[in-house]
Amino acid sequence: MPLTYAGLPVLDEPDTAAHGRARKVKKQFTEGELVRVAGGRNQPEAEFIQGMLLEEGVPSMLKRARGFDVPDMLAAGPRDVMVPASGALAAREILLEAELVRPDGEEVKRGDAPSRVLAVLVAACAVAGLAAWVGTELLT
């Protein structure tokens, strides 16, 4: 009796990365048109969001945001995270749990707004100027 079957494919083939990702996808989330559920400021951030969704079984793809589809930009520039319409609700719940979106569906802004940074800088300069003025008044 032979130890292997001649002519039949090997059952224990090594998995490729694409095969491993495909096994994680839940079939009920694969139907419908693509819908934007989130965005990343650059490719690594968008891939992180994509990985979070894949761990929950929601398939997704990345698309360069409008105006940033120049090949010279490479990994720079914002990316949209797109999911099939049947997985959009599940994706939003996952992103809400991760605090990447707000309950109203708006994305959470990361980082400080430029006007806020300017206000803090002006306030710090005013305090430093006031301290210098008080120091000169006390010395005279």
Q: Between 65 and 128, name the one with better pLDDT.
A: 128
One domain for residues 41 and 26:
yes
C-alpha to C-alpha distances, 129 to 117, 134, 136, nearest whole angstrom? 18, 9, 11
Domain count, the chain: 2
One domain for residues 57 and 126:
no
- Those residues whose C-beta lies under 8 Å from the C-beta of residue 59, and which sit 6 or more positions away, are 25, 29, 30, 53, 83, 84, 87
One domain for residues 21 and 81:
yes
One domain for residues 56 and 122:
no
Under 8 Å between Cβ of 54 and 46: no
DSSP3 helix / strand / coil % (the chain, rounded to 5): 45, 15, 40
One domain for residues 3 and 72:
yes
Q: In terms of residue numbers, what domain contains 117?
A: 112-140
pLDDT of residue 1: 46
One domain for residues 6 and 64:
yes
| pTM assigned to the model | 0.62
pLDDT digits (tens, 9 = 90+) for 20-48: 888 888 999 999 999 999 888 888 999 99
One domain for residues 136 and 81:
no
One domain for residues 88 and 137:
no
pLDDT of residue 43: 87
pLDDT of residue 86: 94
pLDDT of residue 3: 52
**Alpha-carbon dihedral angle through residues 129, 131, 135, 136, given to the nearest 10 degrees:** 20
pLDDT of residue 70: 67
97: three-class secondary structure by DSSP: helix
One domain for residues 119 and 134:
yes
